[in-house]
Chain A
Amino acid sequence: SQTIHQWPATLVQPVGSPLSLECTVEGTSNPNLYWYRQAAGRGLQLLFYSVGIGQISSEVPQNLSASRPQDRQFILSSKKLLLSDSGFYLCAWSLLAGPYNEQFFGPGTRLTVL
């Protein structure tokens, strides 16, 4: 069966510090991978998606970046965090083929920037 992992579960970082959040998927190959952010009281917003190794598309301009060094690994990074980067970060995967495109979400990382 497929599983998706995210770590860390929670993170408190000072403004201006770097960030690295990791997401890994098990039990499937060549998935679509997504990074979402949920700010307090708001719906999920798509940040990045990837259809393959080294292929990253950004949905919104920001000081965050994403990388996909391996097929089932997706990393969210920042060189310098802003207060506005606080939120709940979710990684998700879906199969490339098929009409349903059901997305499976990880447990999330709660980031607090102070």
Chain B
Amino acid sequence: DAKTTQPPSMDCAEGRAANLPCNHSTISGNEYVYWYRQIHSQGPQYIIHGLKNNETNEMASLIITEDRKSSTLILPHATLRDTAVYYCIVRGSQGNLIFGKGTKLSVKP
């Protein structure tokens, strides 16, 4: 069972920031939050991960609330190629990643 909750779908205009929310209210103190995305018919692609502090890399920024019960993935300037399903994930007890249904992001011109 997924430990995270995400909206099923979101739209974003090309060139604008895409803000993807995720609730993980049962996350434990030492669990990381991971974000992956999956473009249709491809394997999931790692985006970013974080524990407590906000993180930024060349793909995105991750904002984690102080109580760690939710986070937001930010794509600062969305392009059409960012259209994908985005998964907010925490790690299972066996080291696996527990995927929910994710958020289907549609970037529109």
Q: Is the CB of B94 within 8 A of A59?
A: yes
Q: Is the CB of A103 within 8 A of B97?
A: yes
Q: Which residues of B contact A94 (CB under 8 A)?
A: 95
Please pick, from B42, B96, B97, the residue contacting A59 in the complex, using a CB distance under 8 A: B96
Please pick, from B43, B44, B92, the residue contacting A46 in the complex, using a CB distance under 8 A: B92
For the residues of A in contact with B, the DSSP-based class is: strand
The interface size of chain B toward A, counting residues with CB under 8 Å, comes to: 22
Complex: how many Å from CA A57 to CA B95? Answer: 12
Asked whether B45 is an interface residue with its Cβ less than 8 Å from the other chain, the reply is: yes
Complex: how many Å from CA A82 to CA B45? Answer: 29
Asked whether B69 is an interface residue with its Cβ less than 8 Å from the other chain, the reply is: no
Q: Which residues of A contact B100 (CB under 8 A)?
A: 43
Complex: how many Å from CA A102 to CA B41? Answer: 21
Name the segment of A12-20, A61-69, A71-79, A105-113 touching the other chain.
A105-113
Q: Assign chain A's interface to a size class.
A: 20 to 34
Q: Known: A44-B99, A59-B96, A108-B41. Is A102-B91 also a contact (CB below 8 A)?
A: no
Residue in B45, B87, B91, B96 with the greatest tally of chain A CB atoms within 10 Å: B96
Q: Is the CB of A49 within 8 A of B2?
A: no
Residue in A44, A45, A88, A106 with the greatest tally of chain B CB atoms within 10 Å: A44
Q: Give the interface of B toward A (CB within 8 A).
A: 2, 32, 34, 41-46, 49, 87, 91-92, 94-102
Q: List 25 A-B contacts (CB under 8 A).
A: A32-B95, A43-B99, A43-B100, A44-B44, A45-B99, A46-B98, A49-B94, A49-B95, A49-B96, A59-B94, A88-B41, A90-B43, A90-B44, A100-B32, A100-B49, A101-B91, A101-B95, A102-B46, A102-B49, A104-B46, A106-B43, A107-B43, A108-B41, A108-B42, A108-B43
Given A43-B102, A103-B97, A108-B42, output 6 extra A-B contacts at Cβ < 8 Å: A34-B96, A44-B97, A46-B92, A46-B98, A88-B41, A101-B91
